[in-house]
Amino acid sequence: MRDEYLKEATKVITDPNILINVVSRRVKQLKNGMDPLVESLEKLEPEDIALREIIEGKISYQLYSPED
């Protein structure tokens, strides 16, 4: 995982626990064959792709309360 991507992603999703969960879910999707939402000229690891998607605003998250 690239440190510069992680630093930029923490500016978008400031809670580290939420960031970990969002990245983890997206990595699973990418490993299961979903196409990346960002383009890169270099080969990126799924974790880096997920972080770039967050940085570029391509994916978001929604919190659910227990009452939902």
Kindly report, residue by residue over 49-62, the tens digit of the pLDDT: 999 999 999 998 99
Do the domain assignments include residue 47? yes
Domain that holds residue 38: 3-55
Residue 12: which residues within 8 A CB-CB, separation 6 or more?
54, 55, 57
Tokens of 37: 């939402």
What does the alpha-carbon distance between residue 17 and residue 11 come to, in Å, rounded to a whole number? 14
Q: Is the pLDDT of residue 68 over 70?
A: no
Kindly report, residue by residue over 15-64, the tens digit of the pLDDT: 999 999 999 999 999 999 999 999 999 999 999 999 999 999 999 899 88
What does the alpha-carbon distance between residue 37 and residue 28 come to, in Å, rounded to a whole number? 14
Do the domain assignments include residue 67? no
Do the domain assignments include residue 22? yes
Do the domain assignments include residue 51? yes
Report the number of distinct structural domains present in the chain: 1
Do the domain assignments include residue 19? yes
